[in-house]
Amino acid sequence: MRSDGILGNTNEQGVKAGTSERIKWLKRRERWLVVLGVILHAVYMLSIFDIYFKSPIVRGVDLVAPRFSAPAKRLVLLVADGLRADKFYEPDSEGNYRAPFLRSIIKNQGRWGVSHARPPTESRPGHVSIIAGFYEDPSAVLKGWKANPVEFDSVFNRSSHTISFGSPDIVPIFCGALQHSTWDTYPHEFEDFATDASFLDLWSLDKFQSLLNRSNEDPKLKELLQQDNLVVFLHLLGCDSNGHAHRPFSSIYLNNVKVVDHVAESVYNLVQDYFKDNLTSYIFTADHGMSDKGSHGDGHPTNTDTPLVAWGAGVKRPRPISSSNHSDCGFRFVDDHVHDTPTPIEWGLHGIERVDVNQADIAPLMSTLLGLPCPVNSVGVLPRDYIDMTKAEEVEAVISNTKEILNQFLRKSHIKQSHSLFFKPFKPLSHYSSILDKIDDLILARDYDAAMDLSQNLRSLALQGLHYFQTYDWLMLMSVITLGYVGWMIYLVLHVLQSYTSLSGNSFGMEQAAERNKHRKIYLCGCIVTGMVCLLFLLEHSPPLYHAYMIMTSFLWFQIISEYQFIKALWKHLFERRTNHIIKLLATTVVSVFILEFLVNSFTDRKLYTGCFLIAGATASFYLFKLIPWRSGIPIYVCIACWFLSIFTLMPAEIPDNNLLVVSSGAIIIIIGIAARWLALHAGGNKYWLSICNCERENPKYSTLFYLQAFLVALSSVMVYLSTSHRTEKQELLAFHQMINWCVAGFSMVLPLFSEISILSRLTSIFLGFAPPFLLLSIGYEAIFYAALGLVLMAWILFENTLFNLNIMNKSSYSIKNVTNHLILGCDNRSLQLSDVRIPLVFMVLFNIAFFGTGNFASIASFEISSVYRFITVFSPFLMAALLIFKLFIPFILVICVFSAITKLNQIPRMGCYFLVILFSDVMTIHFFFLVRNTGSWMEIGNSISHFGIVSAQVVFVLLLFALTNTYTKNIQCNSAVPATRKAN
């Protein structure tokens, strides 16, 4: 029997000819193909923001001067960072409400409701929507904590002066470059998650009180405080820090709600006593909520529902609820909540009218109370039920809000029309000027109700028009990106067939001169076509990325066209094969697509992996049971390992704290290491273990290394207990504990480089080497998952090793010679065969279970920040994010190390398998590309973006992890029977 290539049996004459030149050609092509893949995915990943989520900021929008008098001289804005609406409004276990002062305001003086935030529910986007009135595009969260990386207008900009105190991560964003501002922040070191952070809120209160006291002795400061359009902003970070550190159900977080209420009461009393004019408006709200596990970022109601209380000058007083003022209008908020969401009975506010708003609506509310123009990029709708004005002034306020949004639409329309060669206008607003004239006529006729309705309709049309121009280029960009992905996948298939299979042809850089001339003509034609399209984009002043999308797509397709001779020969070759080979190829394709679609669906339902591993364990063990004796223990072990791993995707994505479970996991990991060590030294005599075991006498040096690694795992388990216990009891992380944790984690990852080079010994050392940092970053059952994943990876090695050895034993001497003739690159790598597709497919499944085995990492809020508290507690977003991402990557490192070992065991080219992995990833990527949403629930929108981003990024971080793990796996050796057989021949 002859070894079959990826399409069937082939003639292998001439494969060895020109080996040296072929090696050089293939190395060059691999390098530039990897670079091309990284660039292409990086560029195409950005396309969803051009298609769905363009930046809403428009330059050159005219201000609209209000035509009404200001109800208030000054405004106080209190933002309780990370405060959930339910924890603010509901009573405690004793029936007492946590915010008695603000509750009295709701009942006696002001208005209340829920402010609905839009993901990403992070501090910067939340504050931007509150203060500037627009929702930053989702990519804004990646800009870090820079002070206005993109300059935008805000209520603070329009004020006569802004006074602000609070977090060093928020206050400078809005006041750092503002000339007419007085602000101060506490040091970053104050944001320590090991302490009760409520003192941060009291710090802001003390600074404001000191400012008022100082003004009694400073005439200039007193004069500044007495001017109109003054804004006071106090950022209260305590709830956010305590929510992250102790969870929203903790007594510390709930007590912080009382502290926030105390701050609000104190500020109110201070301002009323100081100014004594009742011309101050007060707004209390939050930028985002907090999930039950102490995180935020996605669109879950616990993150998007925040409290809103307004009172003072220009704000209506409480009104009892009735059917006339509380009707369902079919409106949905930005987080997909319906307009008439029922108020929970336990809040005790069901008799008082509740007025919910979108978070961006707060900005025009503040502008209206101060009589200022709305921020120029605000898309917020003025909540009329909050403002206490005459009918005429209320209409003027709504018109001012409408005209500001309309001006944005007109500016966008003008920019697009001036740049487009084939402009398509937004027809519903083609006669907007006549509508404005009609509104003015209705106001002159004192028909305020009709003027109000017409203004609100015009505002709705303007918002629709803004959305129209946000997605103006949608169809063109979708077509270009789709063609680009399809072209990339076809080109990858051609590369794998040319470079890593036994197919022959003029694909190794040795074309005749005539073929080269034809290629030059194709490339010249491609350059002309691409140049013409880019010139069209240039005339339309399209963004630079539009050119990049088109250049990438056309380049790929003209590369494919240049391989037309190979494609033609491939087509002919395929239909010359016997029917059974075509059936095998089609069956492999169908199975591959089925597995990839299964992986796509697993992003939204991680429980699918439970069924997957139950079936895989039973099927693989049954298959092995037919091939090898059950007494070897391998079939039973494979089944048990897969079934054990299947348990974890049934567990909650929100990992509960269980310190004892983490400590116990260390003991389990050590037991697994001891068992693997014993097998590596004693199982080599068994023919089914021969290729992966040491088969040599125990070396004292390696024994010492193994004992050292086991000791470090045990030490890390002890440090998990000590660090957590002390931090919980004493509210601090000891520097001594912190130093030991960093040293153990760093030192343990270096040790595998000095271990034995047999497959089982090296992989066991890697498993033990990455266990200490993973344990120190674990808070619950994910530590057991690490051990379970290691067992399944071992089962994969045993499965592949069994197939490999059975294949060798069943081969005739002619077949062994045939295998030898299929060697590529002049080394021990053979050509890829159709059956080898199983290896990258299994890798894809295991790579994704590393994502979802311990939670839904496809959600932005799935990272458990308390995981880093054994290394750092002082707030440092970049270091904390780096530690969380490193924890996420540790299971990937194990999977890729085993993948590399299996490619060596099977003697197949690892880069060939890498390109197949990328090919399969891109099948998923193009699926997720069409699943990206910009309508509906923002939880679904946020997840659709992260799903697409995760799969798109696989080409990059899989490559990086390949490079990293190559340090550990490049010296791995297996006791293969093939080289010995070749030598005998």
The share of the chain scoring above pLDDT 70, in percent, equals 85
Summarised one tens digit per residue, pLDDT across range 291-311 is 888 888 777 889 999 999 999
- Mean pLDDT, the chain, integer: 83
Q: What is the pLDDT of residue 236?
A: 96
Residue 505 has pLDDT above 50, yes or no: no
Q: Which amino acid is at 370?
A: L
Highest mean pLDDT among 274-288, 547-561, 807-821, 931-945: 274-288
SS3 content of the chain, % helix, strand, coil (to 5): 65, 5, 30
Q: What is the dihedral of CA 723, 727, 732, 738, to 10 degrees?
A: 10
Please identify which residue in the block is written with the tokens 């977090």. 167
Q: Is the pLDDT of residue 74 over 80?
A: yes
3-state secondary structure of 79: strand
Lookup: tokens for 348: 């005790």
**What pLDDT, on the 0 to 100 scale, is given for residue 859?**
45
User: Rounded mean pLDDT of 375-390?
Assistant: 93
The pLDDT of residue 129 is: 93
Sequence-separated (6 or more) residues with CB below 8 Å from residue 627:
802, 806
Q: Where residue 499 falls among pLDDT bands split at 50, 70, 90?
A: confident
**Using an 8 Å Cβ cutoff, are 51 and 254 in contact?**
no
302 or 697, which is more confident?
A: 302
Name the residue among 863, 850, 867 with its Cα closest to residue 645: 850
Q: Is the dihedral of CA 48, 876, 121, 280 positive or negative?
A: negative
Sequence-distant contacts of 21-24: CB under 8 A, at least 24 apart = 21/508, 21/509, 21/510, 22/508, 22/509, 22/825, 23/825, 23/826
**Peptide linkage before 120 cis (omega within 30 of 0):** yes
Q: 291 is written with which tokens?
A: 């999930």
- Name the band, by pLDDT with cuts 50, 70 and 90, for residue 962: confident
Residue 506 has pLDDT above 70, yes or no: no
Highest mean pLDDT among 15-24, 453-462, 524-533, 843-852: 453-462
Phi, psi of 116 (to 5 degrees): -95, 115
Given this model, what pLDDT does residue 864 score? 65
Q: With CA atoms as reference, report the closest residue to 279 among 369, 366, 210.
A: 369
pLDDT at 20: 64
Name the most confidently modeled range: 52-66, 559-573, 752-766: 752-766
Q: Report the range of poorest mean pLDDT among 148-157, 775-784, 959-968.
A: 148-157
Structure tokens at 197: 């952070």
- Rounded percentage of the chain residues whose pLDDT exceeds 90: 43
Helix ranges (DSSP H) in 540-655? 544-562, 564-576, 579-602, 608-627, 634-645
Report residue 483's pLDDT band, with 50, 70 and 90 as the boundaries.
very high
Q: How far apart are CA 1 and CA 584, in angstroms?
A: 17
What local confidence, expressed as pLDDT, does residue 819 receive? 44
Distance in angstroms (rounded) separating the CA atoms of residues 208 and 216: 13
**Residue 19 exposed, middle or buried by CB count within 10 Å (0-12, 13-18, 19+):** middle
Could you give the CA distance from residue 200 to residue 295 in angstroms, rounded to a whole number?
19
SS (H, E, C) 871-918: CCCECCHHHHHHHHHHHHHHHHHHHHHHHHHHHHHHCCCHHHHHHHHH
Using alpha carbons, list the distances in angstroms from residue 282 to 265, 309, 696: 11, 8, 79
Note the pLDDT of residue 372.
94
Residue 623 is predicted with a pLDDT of 87
Tokens of 484: 């680009």
CA angle (522, 525, 528) in 5-degree steps: 150
Return the axis-axis angle of helices 700-730 and 735-750, rounded to nearest 10°: 150
> Can you give the pLDDT at residue 11?
45
How far is Cα 875 from Cα 703, in angstroms, rounded to an integer? 41
Mean pLDDT of 338-362: 89
Cα–Cα distance measured from residue 85 to residue 285, given in angstroms and rounded to the nearest whole number: 9
> Is residue 237 scored above 90 in pLDDT?
yes
The three-state secondary structure class of 80 is strand
Q: Are 88 and 257 in contact (CB under 8 A)?
A: yes
Say if strands 357-358 and 161-166 run parallel, antiparallel, or are unpaired: unpaired
- pLDDT on residue 214: 94
Q: Assign residue 40 a region (left: φ > 0; alpha: ψ between -120 and 50; beta: otherwise).
A: alpha
Residue 10 is predicted with a pLDDT of 43
Write the DSSP string, 217-260: T-HHHHHHHHSSSEEEEEEE-HHHHHHHHH-TTSHHHHHHHHHH
* Measured distance CA(723)–CA(868) in Å, rounded: 11
Counting Cβ atoms within 10 Å, is residue 511 exposed (0-12), middle (13-18) or buried (19+)?
Answer: middle
Whether CATH 3.30.70.1560 fits 75-389: no
CA distance 382 to 375: 12
Judged by average pLDDT, the poorest of 85-89, 360-364, 416-420, 440-444 is 416-420
Contact between 101 and 331 under an 8 Å Cβ cutoff? The reply is no
Q: What is the mean pLDDT of residues 910-934?
A: 87
Closest CA to 267 of 387, 165, 129, 131: 165
Higher pLDDT, 530 or 171: 171
User: What's residue 471's pLDDT?
Assistant: 75
Q: How far apart are CA 301 and CA 490, in angstroms?
A: 43
In angstroms, the CA 867 to CA 657 distance is: 10
Residue 834 is classified by DSSP as G
pLDDT of residue 288: 94
What is the arithmetic mean of pLDDT over 339-353?
87
402 C-beta neighbours (distance < 10 Å), count: 27
Residue 893 contacts residue 957 (beta carbons within 8 Å): no
Nearest to 352 by CA among 112, 586, 542: 112
Which is more confidently placed, 860 or 604?
A: 604
At 765, is the pLDDT very low, low, confident or very high (cuts 50, 70, 90)? Answer: very high
The number of beta carbons lying within 10 Å of the beta carbon of residue 441 is 12
Q: Tokens at residue 823, please?
A: 């060697």
pLDDT of residue 264: 97
How far is C-alpha 255 from the chain's CA centre?
Answer: 32
942, with CB counted inside 10 A (0-12, 13-18, 19+), is: buried
Lowest-pLDDT choice from 419-423, 697-701, 713-717, 753-757: 697-701
Angle at 474 between CA 473 and CA 475, to 5 degrees: 100
Residue 829 burial by Cβ neighbours in a 10 Å radius (0-12, 13-18, 19+): buried
Write down the pLDDT at residue 8. 46
**Contact between 883 and 777 (Cβ < 8 Å):** yes
Q: pLDDT per residue over 175-225, tens digit each?
A: 888 889 999 999 988 888 778 899 999 999 999 999 999 999 999 999 999
pLDDT digits (tens, 9 = 90+) for 640-667: 999 999 998 888 777 777 888 889 999 9
Tens-place pLDDT, residues 90-140? 998 888 999 999 999 999 999 999 999 987 788 888 999 999 998 876 555
